[in-house]
Amino acid sequence: MKRKFYFTVLLFFIVTMTGYQSLAQEEKKLSFPISNVQEIITQSGVVIDTEITTDNNGSLLINTDKAIKVELFEIDKEDFKNKRLTYKAQIRSEDLTGTEDLRGISYIELIASFPDGEELISRGPRVPVSGTTDWRPAETVLYIDKGNAPENVKLNLIVEGQGKVWLDAVKLEAIPLRLNYLFWGYLVAWIVLIIYIYDLLRKNIQLKKELEAFS
């Protein structure tokens, strides 16, 4: 009975691994180097800083005395249906302070717009930059599990305060949602397989001890 169970798990492991590798090929990673302000949607109030940068290609600098929403990039030629979208970037600040109406923080924003006019919005990181900070990773995630694919996806930067904010190393990753489910199935199969191997080794050791006892 146990052998049939472990054989079934092993078969599931092989099928899951094959499906996982197949779906992994659908994963998309888009990079958006920041080296030319003409490539940015919002060109007012932003400049390229070639000295403070994470990749030596330049970073986007916003020096503001009021709240500002910087629209960075818009992607409208990719199929993001049933995908997990992850917007990643590096962000830093200098003397970013608040006022009576502003919180003195900065964060990234990911927006998916659908044909019916609905929008899904995600912002991150959970702890926005504030004051003076060195480069910090920022990340926010959207799950596109609606029936339709979004018409476009926008990557933005929000500054709610007075001071300087830099943004660099902008990336967007799209992973099939099914890949998440297969990952957990893959992990469970691995765990059961390890238990099976451990059980075989334990029985083998026990058998050796019994044979030694009879000899």
Residue 54 contacts by C-beta under 8 Å, 6 or more apart in sequence?
A: 90, 135, 168, 169
Q: Is the pLDDT of residue 180 over 80?
A: no
Considering the domain boundaries, does residue 187 fall inside one? Answer: no
Considering the domain boundaries, does residue 190 fall inside one? Answer: no
Considering the domain boundaries, does residue 120 fall inside one? Answer: yes
Number of alpha helices (DSSP H) and beta strands (DSSP E) in the chain: 2, 10
CATH number for the domain that contains residue 163 = 2.60.120.260
Structural tokens at position 78: 């990719």
The tally of domains found in the chain comes to: 1
Structural tokens at position 54: 């994470």
pLDDT at 192: 67
pLDDT in tens, 104-124: 999 999 999 998 889 999 999
pLDDT in tens, 39-55: 999 999 999 999 999 98
